[in-house]
Structure 1
Amino acid sequence: MHSLLESVRRHANASSDRSGFAPTPFRGLGTVRALYPGELQVTVQKPLIAICLQGRKRVTMGPNSFDYGAGEALVITADVPTISQIREASPAAPYYALALELDAALLRTLITEADLRPVDTAPIRVERADADVMDTALRLMQLMDRPAALPVLGEALMREMHYWLLTGHHGAAIRSLGGADTHAHRIARAVALIRQDYASTLRIGDLAALAGMSESSFHQHFRAITTLSPLQFQKQLRLIEARRLMLMESRGIAHAAHLVGYESVPQFTRDYARLFGTPPGRDMREARQTA
């Protein structure tokens, strides 16, 4: 693990943006760095694996909290709302992690080729990081020092990474994402459409048809997997995107509210305060002072 930590440290220290994230040339793979324990971050998380290499982090979904530290990996296998917070970090010992968004299409291919059985499981879990996964991650990070080899070996290593994830400690949970006919995969199709058209009016019948379910079954499985109703899920997406627009693009409150689909600014303000714990104007002032 020490070698992987050093590779991640070098990349993160050289390339992190102000949020602490640094992408790599590999699709969906990036590093995370934090110098101090952070504020609570609310997001609708995409399926991913996050390997902690130094420090500690807590992720909460609904009533369940998951703490993980160096050598442990958090896996999220559905689009779920989370509240996260880095708990241990300092300038002398920053928080470092490697995060990979899971490629569902690649997982489906590997499940078929390896004749693995998809199953439905809980969408979040923490386990020790597999040695094979850590080894492949190290080779991916080291490959960035050899740019001529990136187009030749990069895809093969990403494929290998996903294979070890499917067959390791997190395998059962990750197979639920890659299975062609699991409830998680069906709901994922609907979630992708909500993410794409989050500012539009939600049509439950269209989403249920896309998932191949009746409306009642769709509501039941959507809530079981994401912990939210489709309308609540869309609302959180809208509010999270509005916060990004205000914070990162300096959009005004009313402008951001309308861009994400709100017709009423007072309603937007109320919903924002419920989710983030403070009204948008105060939240922006405090965020900018912290920055």
Structure 2
Amino acid sequence: MMHHEELGHLIARYAIEDGIHATAVPRLSAVRISKPTDPVHSVHKAAICIAAQGRKQVILGQEVFEYGPGRHMLVSVDLPVIGQVIGATETEPYLAVRLDLDLDLCADLLMRVSPPSGETGRGLVISDTPRELVEAAIRLMRLQETPEDIDELAPLIEREMMYRLLKGEQGAFIRRMLEPENRNRNIGRAISWIKENYNRSFKVEDVASLSGMSPSSLHQHFREATAMSPLQYQKQLRLQEARRLIFSHSFDAASAGHSVGYDSPSQFSREYKRLFGAPPQRDIDRLRSEPQRYAEA
């Protein structure tokens, strides 16, 4: 049996219904989707996603990234993306594992491991998945069979996975995201500030100062990492949070827009329609009528 097939069997055993299922292992989730989905807007956390079956595409700005068995996605900073499962059936669903990154662990390993050199500005990359990385993911999933072993063995296996990443073709990518004076860390500080203050107006100059960068440097490198400007990033966060408030908490459109920082209801409706393809109420009605088509994966 191929290693990705073995991983797929384990995922299917613990994810018997469609959706993202938290496992007993900290920060490890199993994903199962049994038919293609519509595009789903979300903020993707720093994580590694390893596909065992089916195919998924992720859109960041205007770029499209696609992965399936034998490929994995690594995200280094929180990114507003559009995800869509494009290859899945009832008999062969999309199956994947997702491990949210422990950046402290990565930083500790970085002090001991010398990654290969390389260059990429994006906060998202797709790479071939080495056999050793899949084997480690299999062992991490199998710990659910012996939950008494999780506390002791899960950290060791996760450390091995991060080691494999650092020694592989994404090693330089991880190094850049963790080096204290690296611009990616500065961009990370800017992203964290915007996430915490998404409903407030701000000047790029102020965020640049908080991040230890000049405004022009912040703008350039922020766009390289996220494929959008700081203000566009804020807008994505605002609109996604407003959508959540309307869908999950029954806010009306005007109240949701005001809660996330919009002073003009008409501007909010225009920008909401531009991002999600329909005005707020029609979009929410569509989500509620077919929730499985918009399941995050």
DSSP 3-state at the match of 1:84 = strand
Task: Tell me if 1:289 matches 2:289.
Answer: yes
Q: Is the 8 A contact 2:115 2:168 kept in 1?
A: no
Taking only aligned residues, the RMSD between alpha carbons, in angstroms, comes to: 2.0
Query: 1:5-62: per-residue Cα shift (whole Å, max 9, x none)?
Result: 1111112116x6xxx1111233432121111100011233222221111111112223
Partner of 2:40: 41
Contact 1:55 1:89 in 2 (8 A): yes
* Distance in 1, Cα, partners of 2:256 & 2:268: 10
Aligned partner of 2:232: which letter?
A: Q
- Shift in Å at residue 117 of structure 1? 6.6
Q: Deviations over 1:44-100 (max 9, x none)?
A: 322222111111111222332222222211222333332221111111111111112
- Checking the alignment, whether the CA contact within 8 Å between 2:50 and 2:72 is kept in structure 1 is yes
Amino acid at match of 1:206: D
Is the contact made by 1:77 and 1:176 (CA closer than 8 Å) also made in structure 2? no
What is the SS of the residue equivalent to 1:144?
helix
State whether residues 113 and 166 of structure 2, in contact with CA within 8 Å, keep that contact through their aligned partners in structure 1: no
Is the 2:41–2:81 contact (alpha carbons within 8 Å) kept by the matching residues of 1?
yes
2:252 matched residue in structure 1:
252
Percent of matched pairs sharing the same residue: 38
Structure 2: runs of 5 or more not aligned: 292-297
**What are the equivalent positions in structure 2 for 1:1-291 lying under 5 Å apart?**
1-13=4-16, 20-116=19-115, 120-123=119-122, 124-291=124-291
Distance 1:261 1:25, change over 3 A: farther
2:116–2:169 contact (8 Å) kept in structure 1: no
SS at match of 1:224: helix
Three-state SS of the structure 1 residue aligned to 2:82 is: strand
Q: Give the secondary-structure state (helix, strand or coil) at the position aligned to 1:97.
A: strand
CA-to-aligned-CA distance 1:166-222 (integer Å, 9 cap, x gap): 112322222222222221121011101111221222243332123211122212211
Q: Which whole-Å CA distance do the structure 2 matches of 1:223 and 1:126 have between them?
A: 18
Contact 2:25/2:144, CA 8 A, preserved across alignment = no
TM-score by length of 1: 0.91
Q: Which amino acid aligns with 2:46?
A: P
Partner Cα distance (1:55, 1:143) in 2: 24
The CA distance in 2 between the partners of 1:240 and 1:196, in whole Å, is: 14
How many matched pairs?
287
Structure 2: distance between partners of 1:26 and 1:69: 23
Counterpart amino acid of 2:101? L
What TM-score do you get using the length of structure 2 for normalisation? 0.89
CA distance in 1, matches of 2:286, 2:269: 16
**Alpha-carbon shift at residue 238 of structure 1 (Å):** 0.8
Q: Secondary structure at the match of 1:10?
A: helix
**1:105-127 CA distances to partner (integer Å, 9 max, x unpaired)?**
22121111224477651423322
Cα 1:138–1:212 change in 2 (3 A) is same
Contact 2:116 / 2:167 at 8 angstroms: preserved in 1?
no
CA contact (8 A) 2:41 2:82 kept: yes
Note if contact 2:115-2:172 (Cα within 8 Å) is conserved in structure 1: no
Query: Contact conserved, 1:119 with 1:182, CA < 8 A, in 2?
Result: no
- Using the TM superposition, give the Cα deviation of residue 273 of structure 1 relative to its aligned residue in structure 2, in angstroms: 0.6
**Runs of at least 4 residues off by over 6 Å:** none
In the alignment, the residues of structure 1 paired with residue 173 and residue 214 of structure 2 have an alpha-carbon distance, to the nearest angstrom, of 25
Residue 241 and residue 41 in structure 1: after superposition, are their counterparts in 2 closer, same or farther (change >3 A)? same
CA distance in 2, matches of 1:212, 1:119: 24
Secondary structure of 2:36's aligned partner: coil
User: Offset of 1:234 from its aligned partner?
Assistant: 0.5
**Contact 2:36 / 2:89 at 8 angstroms: preserved in 1?**
yes
Greater relative CO, 1 or 2 (CA 8 Å, sep 6+): 2
Q: Is the 8 A contact 1:53 1:69 kept in 2?
A: yes
Question: Aligned partners of 2:74 and 2:60: how far apart in 1?
Answer: 12
- Are the structure 2 counterparts of residues 268 and 246 from structure 1 closer, same or farther at C-alpha, using a change threshold of 3 Å? same
Larger deviation, residues 223-232 vs 248-257: 248-257
Contact 2:24 2:147 (8 Å CA) reproduced: no
Contact 1:119 1:176 in 2 (8 A): no
Query: Tell me, what secondary structure is at the counterpart of 2:15?
Result: helix
Does the aligned pair in 2 maintain the 1:269–1:280 contact within 8 Å?
yes
